[in-house]
Each structure stands twice: as structure tokens, then as C-alpha cells.
A and B are shown apart, each in its own frame.
Chain A
Amino acid sequence: MSSALRTPIPSSEQTRSASDVRLSVEQVSYAYAPNPSQAPLFTLEALSFHAKPGEIVAILGPNASGKSTLLKLISGALEPLSGRIFLNGFVTHSLPPRTRAQRIALVQQESRLLFPSRAWEFVLQGRHPYGSGLRFDTQDDVIIATNALTQVGADHLSDRWMDKISGGEKQRVILARALAQQPLLLLLDEPTLHLDIGAQVDLLHNLRRLAAENRYTVVVVTHELNLAGEYADQVVLLQKGKCLRVGPPASVFQRELLEQVFQAPLSVEMTSSGRPRVTIFSNT
């Protein structure tokens, strides 16, 4: 019983072979204008990429490059101006909220709670899309939430108040709530922000393991070049709403390209594991 519930119950869609494409972003573009009659303030030019179960995709780019917009488009919160985003063949924007929440979990930059709650209450919220209307949590919900906390190594935090734990601990609980949603697609918006280096590596390491164990497709927006280089299977490099390159880190992390995008002198070397490592020099 408990071993069957340790990993999320595979849906019928999930039982297809792992080589299938799960997330496919096809020629997606977007324009943001505060007023429809005006020229858009921000545009995201058509871009495409595909991701399989178990893959980690990192979206990289300087500020205002369209990273978060792309993530919102993938999550279905925004409707693309053109192109479409499919998750197992369904257009993400057209899914009803409840169905969407069963397939896509989003870890956002930390939000303030109006009234404090305990960590376990917070994680149980991830089960919300599986109930209808007014519901009480079932025994399965409790087992799934407990396992989610265990998977991120946070079971000892279960009874703590959310406003009384450290940033890294909170980030783990937020991730646990996303896992409790049993999603196919896990989206993270700058999850390493406000975390110390140890906690950052810890989080990415967890993500790597969870993606492999539970066959999640993970899309993560980040500023951390080296973490993306170390942990991502694919990198989407954005600059001012343009997609400059998509591919494995080794092919995207070119010195000239990164220097031009991030406006800083840097060097790229390959580690023994075949992962690129970036060193940024000071301008002087």
C-alpha cells in the first residue's frame, strides 16, 4: 500500500514510453501591451523546444529577457499570441483550472501568507485539485503529502509554522506541495533566489533525483549559470525576448555568446563530467 503510493500514481498518459515528447512548445510568441492600441512594451519572439519525461530544462537569460513570461505561457496562465504549447497533446492554456493543476505544478517565488499555517497544512493544499468542492483530506492524501515531505527531506518540518522556518526549509516545503500535486510537469520560477549556496545545490540535486525517480519534466527559470550547466539536460537562452539558442548546456555555453548576452567578461571550461563551468571576471 505505502510502497505503491511512494511515487506518484502514474496516469494512463504517463505509462507511454519515456522516449515520447511530453512538453512541446511550438513557435510560441507573446506580446505585452498595457493598452491594446499602443505598441507592445515587451514581445517574446516565436520559439520552440521539446522536453521528455525526466528531463530538466533551464531557461536562462538576463533580467527582462522574457524568462518568467515563457514560464507563465508554459503554465497556461497566459495565452500565447501565436503558436501552441502542448502537454501530452493537450494545449495547456485550454485546460480547466483543476485539470491543469493535476498536471502542472508551479513553484513560484516565495509568497507571503496572510495567516500562518503549519508545513503539513501547506503541503496538503497540493491535494486540492484532486477533490471536488468542499472536501476533507483522505488517508491517501495524507500519505501522499507525507511522502512528498520525505522526498524533499523535510519530514522533520511537518509540524513547524511556515513563517518560523528558514528560507531553504521553506523552499523545500513549497517543493513538497508541488510534488503532492503529482504533476507531469514541474515548473520553478527562480527557486534558488534568497538561498545560500549550500541550499541552492541541495535544491537542484533534489530536483535531479526527483525528475529521474518520478519522471517529471522540469522547467526551471534561473540566474545561476553554473547550476544550470551542471544539472540541466537542455538550456533555453533568452535575450530581450529573443530565443538565442536551445540545446544541451555544452552546446549553449559558448564564451562569446554568454559574454554578449550577460555583458560580462567570462570564461567557459569543461569539467571532467562533460559539464560546462562558467567563471565571471570583474570588469577591471
Chain B
Amino acid sequence: MRPLTLGRLLFRCGILAALLFVVVVVALKMGAVQVSLYGLGRDLIRVLLRQSSAISTDYGMIVLDIRLPRILLGIVVGASLSVAGASFQALLRNPLADPYVLGVSSGAAVGAIVALIIENHLALSPELAGLITPIGAFFGAALTIAAVFFLGRRDGHIDSSTLLLGGIITASFLSAIIMFLMNTLAGSNLRGTVFWLMGDLSTPQPRSLLYFLSFGFLVAAGAIYTTASDLNLLLAGEKEAMHLGVDVPRVRIVVYLAASILTGLAVSVSGAIGYVGLLVPHVMRLIFGADHRMLLPASALGGAIAIVIADTLARTIVAPSELPVGAMTAMAGAPLFIYLLRRRLT
């Protein structure tokens, strides 16, 4: 018997955090302007150790003002989507659940676009206006997951394949709505449409929004983490969990709301990036096991690593042009989804 201890949890998270740091340094180096990896690493560690206040070399501006904000945004988005995916998988008792596959990301995108349109008609201060999109995205996400949940029910039980099918249909319907809204109401904007449909991190976001996103992530992911040991029992079914002392309705509402917030936050700045919420929790489960006390933080760090790698590839692989990051995650994620689906059917 080797139960999970706080020490082992922190040790494993430390390894993942170190890996994330390495990935971030490499991502900072990669790009149209070449930067020496050694010099960059040395400067970053100096800044982190507060021995110097800034990277004063000539590439400092590119690295700190262009690449770093985008990477930080990717970290929050990837962590949010992965934690949301792991939560949906436990909540719906479906290993193929993920905000994108269930249509929740598309719902959040519609919510965000509607919020943008409403915002144009209200004269709001810029700080307030920036917060309208995430809130709209949250409501879009929450409504969609409620609808998909309803579609997936049969005789009072959630039927796994009906749920997935319901999610896929919902996603394609909502994509059509996105297409419509982006190209009629908001004026023809092909790039914007791609942003919401495929997921993209190239739009620069104000620093205040990054703080808001990080805060939202910590609150929502923290709320889910308080139910981590309850989620372990929920995997065996709601009735069994109840008999082991889990307050099932409370856990369900906490996880449902918090996962919708996470999806809404991520989608409001990056559009519907697919498969991260599916792929990352599965890889983490293979490495660390299905215990959510370990799985949730591992997924957050793993999701950050995955998105930073995917986005770095997206902006360098066809340089000087760029791919949306969602194209990269779909290329890796869709085959894995099919693999998992087939393994379940046999």
C-alpha cells in the first residue's frame, strides 16, 4: 500500500513545473528573431533570483513584450482546458468527455461573441469591457453543458454514446451560429471566425486580462480541487459515492460551475482549442494514476506544457506565417481520440 502523500504530490508537481520552465525557455527562444538559448536561460534565472531587474539585451523587448505574454496566456488557457476536461470526465463518467468534444467550447465562443456584440452597444470603460467577454463565455459554456447533459440522458441515465453524439451535434450547430454572427452582425471577419472556431493565441491581450484569467483559474481550479477525493469515488457511480459519504448534488454543482468558468475563461481569449482537455488528462492518468488529488494539478501543469509546445510549433513551423494553435492540437488529439474510442468499443 502506497497512499498518496503531500510530499509525493509536491515532488511530482515540482518535476512537471521544472519541465514547464524548460519548455517556456525554449519557447521564448524560438521564433523569427534568433535568441541564444544559453544567454536567455542565464538572464531569466538572474531575473527570477532578483539579481538584475530586466533582460537588458537587445532581444529583451521581443522576448518579454511579445513572446512572454503569449506564452503566459497559453499556460493559463492550457491549464484551464485540461482541468475542465479532467473534471468533465469524472462528472459525466465518460473518458471521452472534453470541453471541445462536448460542444462546451463552441457554446463559450458563441457566448463570448454575443457579449462582444452587446458590448459594442454599451458605452463601457475599457477595463470593464474586457471582462464582458469572459463572463459571456462562461454563460455560453454553462448553458451548453446543461443542454448536452439533457440531450445525453435516456431513461434518467447518462448514456455515454448519446452524450458524445449530442455534444458533437451541438458543436457543429454552434459553429454555424459562430459563422453567422461573425460574418453578418460583427462585419465580415474571416480571421476572427477562424479564431473562434479553431482556437488561436496570436491576438495580444491586455495585461489586466491576464491577471483576471489567472485569478479566475486559481479560484475555479481550487474549487474543483476541494472535491478531488469525492471525484475519485464518483468514478464508481453516483449511488456508490453517496454510500461512501459523498454529498453528490453539492459536488456536481461545484464541479459543473467551476468547469464552465474554466472553459469560459480559456475560450474568451483563445477560441475553441480542441483536444487538450481530452489528451492531457489521459496522458497524466497513464503516468500518475486516476487519483484526482494528483491528476488535477498534473493536468493543469501538463496542459500548460502541451499548449506552450503546440503554440510554439504553430508559430514557427510555417514561419514567417502562422497556424492557429487549435490546428496543432487537433492534429495530435484527433487520432488519440479515435484510439480511445476504439479501445472502449472492443
Binding site for B on A (CB under 8 A): 75, 77, 96-102, 104-106, 108, 111, 113-117, 120-121, 124-126, 128-129, 131, 133-137, 141-142, 145-146, 158, 181
Asked whether A97 lies within 8 Å of B290 as measured between CB atoms, the reply is no
Question: Which residues from chain A contact B228 at a C-beta distance below 8 Å?
Answer: 134
Question: Which residues from chain A contact B9 at a C-beta distance below 8 Å?
Answer: 136
Question: Which residues from chain A contact B89 at a C-beta distance below 8 Å?
Answer: 114
- CB neighbors of A among B278-296 (8 A): 285, 289-291, 293
Please name 13 pairs of A and B residues whose Cβ atoms are closer than 8 Å in the assembled complex, sorted by A.
A97-B242, A97-B247, A104-B243, A111-B236, A113-B236, A115-B235, A116-B290, A120-B3, A121-B3, A129-B245, A134-B228, A136-B6, A141-B3
> Which of B4, B226, B230, B235 makes the CB contact (< 8 A) with A137?
B4
Name the residue of chain A whose CB is nearest to the CB of B248: A97
Name the residue of chain B whose CB is nearest to the CB of A133: B226
Asked whether A128 lies within 8 Å of B235 as measured between CB atoms, the reply is no
By Cβ-Cβ distance, the 6 closest A-B pairs, closest first, are: A101-B245, A129-B245, A115-B290, A137-B3, A98-B245, A120-B1
Question: Which residues from chain A contact B233 at a C-beta distance below 8 Å?
Answer: 125, 128
Q: Shortest Cβ distance from A144 into chain B, in angstroms?
A: 11
Cα A104 to Cα B9 with chains together (Å): 32
Knowing A131-B229, A137-B4, A158-B1 are in contact, say whether A113-B235 is a contact too (CB < 8 A): yes
Cα A255 to Cα B291 with chains together (Å): 52
Name the residue of chain A whose CB is nearest to the CB of B222: A134
- CB neighbors of A among B1-34 (8 A): 1-6, 9
> Which of A77, A141, A146 makes the CB contact (< 8 A) with B243?
A77
Instruction: Name the residue among B3, B226, B247 with the largest chain A CB count within 10 angstroms.
Output: B3
Asked whether B1 lies within 8 Å of A114 as measured between CB atoms, the reply is no
Asked whether B240 lies within 8 Å of A111 as measured between CB atoms, the reply is yes
Question: Which residues from chain B contact A117 at a C-beta distance below 8 Å?
Answer: 289-290
Asked whether B226 lies within 8 Å of A134 as measured between CB atoms, the reply is yes
Q: Shortest Cβ distance from A244 into chain B, in angstroms?
A: 28
Name the residue of chain A whose CB is nearest to the CB of B228: A134
Cα A116 to Cα B1 with chains together (Å): 16
Knowing A115-B95, A120-B1, A134-B293 are in contact, say whether A128-B229 is a contact too (CB < 8 A): yes
